[in-house]
Amino acid sequence: GLAGEGGEGIVEAALLLVPADVDARFNQAMLHRKRGELEQASKILKPLLEDHPSHTKALLLLARIRYLE
């Protein structure tokens, strides 16, 4: 998956090509959460959800992060 070695580079490359790419933004937030970087993940998810309020996976991930904080 994207969480392995090099996964971060793939996600960052996708964001450089299409900064508004919802899946790339979500994957970046997932990588931060897996590393325990909850604040960074939240900073990505909040604007993503402002742009796409029905993105179920992002809603669930943000809820998990808020529960863990």
Question: Which tokens hold the place of 61?
Answer: 């991930």
Which SS3 state, helix, strand or coil, does residue 37 take?
coil
pLDDT in tens, 20-62: 688 889 999 999 999 999 999 999 999 999 999 999 999 999 9
Q: Give dist(CA 64, CA 16) in Å, integer.
A: 27
Give Cβ neighbours of residue 36 (< 8 Å, ≥ 6 apart).
none
Q: What is the pTM of this model?
A: 0.72
